[in-house]
Amino acid sequence: MINLIYIRAAIEANTGIHLTLEKTRQYLLEEGLITQKQADEEAVIFTGYGDLFFGDVPTAEVEKQLDDKEGLPDRIIAGS
């Protein structure tokens, strides 16, 4: 994984120029510091967690983790 945010911060710290993540990836590619394959697969621009959790519905309700009647098991690991 290529951390474009870290690279962009290093460029900004040394030059004072704030680049977009797209421009940062483009310059790395143009300068031969990464390949096109790396740009496509490893230098992905983070757009939020929505792509990963598109089916989750945020809610304040918490699922029951333990059965109220059963409680915790006496033995967690066999032989203990």
Go through the chain and tell me how many residues it has. Answer: 80
Spatial CA neighbour of 46 closest among 18, 16, 12, 5:
5
Report the sign of the C-alpha dihedral through residues 16, 25, 43, 55, in that order. Answer: positive
With 70 as the cut, is the pLDDT of residue 35 above it?
A: yes
With 60 as the cut, is the pLDDT of residue 64 above it?
A: no
Q: How far apart are CA 11 and CA 61, in angstroms?
A: 44
Side-chain half-sphere CA neighbours of 59 within 13 A: 6
Higher-confidence residue of 30 and 79: namely: 30
Q: What mean pLDDT value characterizes the chain?
A: 81
Domain ranges of the chain: 4-51
